[in-house]
Every structure is written in C-alpha cells, then in structure tokens.
Amino acid sequence: MNKIKSMTGFGRAEASDEKHKITVEMKAVNHRYLDLSIRMPRKLNLFEARIRTLVKSYAVRGKVDLFVTCEDFSEEALALKYNETLAGAYVDYIQQMSQKFGIPNDLTAGRLAGFPEVLVMEHPEEDEETLWPLLEEALQKAGEAFAEQKTHEGERLAQDILQKLTDMEEQVSFIEERSPEVVKAYEERMAERMRELLEQTEVDEARLMTEAAIFADKTCVDEETVRLRSHITAMRQSLSKGTPEGVGRRLDFLAQEMNREANTTLSKCNDMDISATAITLKTEIEKIREQVQNIE
C-alpha cells in the first residue's frame, strides 16, 4: 500500500572512501509536474542520466533541486602537464618575429612556461566504475531521508484533511436535515399570507401545495449533498486505503468538484442557517484544496 506523500522534503547524505567524499543534498517544493534540477561538478556529468533515473524513484511530482559535491583526497588529484608541441610553436614564432623585425629575442624558459597552456593543471581521468558506486550510495541515502520526510509530512496532511472531511460530513448532514424544515416553514408562511389576503380561515390547499412544490424544487439541494458525500467518501478512501503514486492530482480534482457542489448549494438555498453552513463548507474545501497542492 502506497502512503500519502508530501511534495516537500529534504535529504542529505555523504559517502566516502580513501580517495573521495561525495555529498548529496536533495530538496523539493510544490510543482505541478516533476522538475529536476541538478548541480554537480563537471567531471560527474557522465552520470546525469543515471542520476535522473534514480531520483525519479523518490519523487513523482515537485520541483526537485539536487546538489552534488565531490572532494578528492588522492595525491593525484591535480597533475601538471607540459605541452611540448605548443611550447615549440611559441619558440618558433618568437624567433621568426625577432628576425622579421630585427629585435632581440630575450625569451627564457621561465617566460615560456608562463605562456598560455604551456603548463596546465588538470584532473586525472576518473575511474567510472570506482566513482559511480560511491555516488549511487550517497544518492540512495539522501533519497531515503528525502522520502522519509515526505512520507512523515504526507501523513500529517492526510490526518488533517481526514478531520476536515469529518467536519464537512456534519455540515452536509445539517443541510440535509434543515432543508425540509425550510420548505415546511415556507409552506406555513404562504398559508398565513393567503389567509390574510383572502380574509378567511380556509385556504386553497391545492394552490398551497403547488407553491410549496415550486419552492422546494428551486431550493432542493439533494443532488448536491449526495454528490458531496460521494466526493468525501472517495477522498477519504484515497487518503486512508492507499492509492497509486501521483494521487495529488486526483485529490485536487475531487476538491474542485466539492467546491462546485458547495457553490451550487449556496446559490440555491433560501435560508440563513443553510447559507452560513454552505459558506463554512466552502471555507473547509478551500483549506483542503490548499493542502492537496502539497501532496505528491
């Protein structure tokens, strides 16, 4: 069973041997899709495809920033290279210039060594088979810490949303119980008005029933409350029973549908108590929508 995960998380880990220490930091914030950004030393670029594949096992959605550093402790970390061919070309051209323009050739070995690219410091070629296992270890450790934090935050979000769903069910129940009372109160007001207008104690029951039926039809929110309950149940199942990865999109869709039903209920009601409850319902749904944006 997959657990609910937040898109927000952080993980850091190190892996080292006698020659290298690799440090990996992985952090993420909300994003509609998976957006992975990698910053690492140039000598690790050959591992980028493998890094991306590994990170995707820890993140489905979110803006993920990955920072990799590599420290080299070996004595061969830097090597001095002498470019004899380029040095010879400098000597030849300087000698030609001296003869062409009749000026002294005061070239010395020290000055020649200072010319660009004659002496250069370079990193020796890394052994891919040695470096990748170290990098992979650091990535996995950071990824596990990253995933653990996302799961912990996801569980907290899920519990908070589940409590809000329970509160919403109580608000829906109030609307369902209150609606028939509103129709009955309307019918009583209509009967009283008819008595006053007709100045008689007997009223036209057929007309009264017709007026009450029209009012009930205009203000009926049975369909809306049924759909609200259905969406609440679907969201609770998604949060409680485990769902495929990327469930955040489904939860966001359900929250949008809930909001649609709450809006319709608010527009149809003709009672202050139901209106107040519908507004509270909309407020709870908006809070859920904000929290759902954090779920992977």
DSSP state, residue 35: E
How far, in Å, CA of 60 to CA of 241, rounded?
19
* pLDDT given for residue 223 in this prediction: 83
The distance from CA 231 to its chain's CA centroid, rounded to whole angstroms, is: 22
The arithmetic mean of pLDDT across residues 210-233, rounded, is 75
Distances (CA, A) of 81 to 71, 186, 197: 21, 96, 110
* pLDDT given for residue 73 in this prediction: 76
Beta-bridged to residue 295, according to DSSP, are: 6
Pairing of strands 79-82, 62-72: unpaired
The pLDDT tens digits for 75-123 are 555 667 888 999 999 999 999 999 999 899 988 988 888 899 888 876 6
Say whether 86 sits in a helix, a strand or coil.
Answer: helix
The dihedral sign for the CA sequence 114, 117, 119, 122: positive
The pLDDT tens digits for 255-287 are 999 999 999 888 777 788 888 999 999 999 999
The residues near 69 (Cβ < 8 Å, ≥ 6 apart) are 22, 23, 40, 41
The pLDDT tens digits for 23-77 are 999 999 998 889 999 999 988 999 999 999 999 999 988 999 999 999 887 655 5
Please give the angle made by the CA atoms of 93, 94 and 95, to the nearest 5 degrees.
90
DSSP state, residue 49: H
Is the pLDDT at 178 greater than 80, yes or no?
yes
Give the pLDDT band of residue 151 (cuts 50, 70, 90). Answer: very high
Is the pLDDT at 16 greater than 70, yes or no?
yes
The pLDDT tens digits for 117-148 are 888 876 656 566 778 999 999 999 999 999 99
* pLDDT given for residue 81 in this prediction: 81
Helix axes 128-198 and 48-55, enclosed angle (nearest 10) = 40
Q: Of 256, 246, 229, nearest to 165 (Cα)?
A: 229
The model scores a pTM over 0.85: no
Q: For 73-183, where are the E strands, in sequence order?
A: 79-82, 119-122
* pLDDT given for residue 233 in this prediction: 94
Residue 29 tokens read as 């914030």
The pLDDT tens digits for 179-194 are 877 766 656 666 566 5
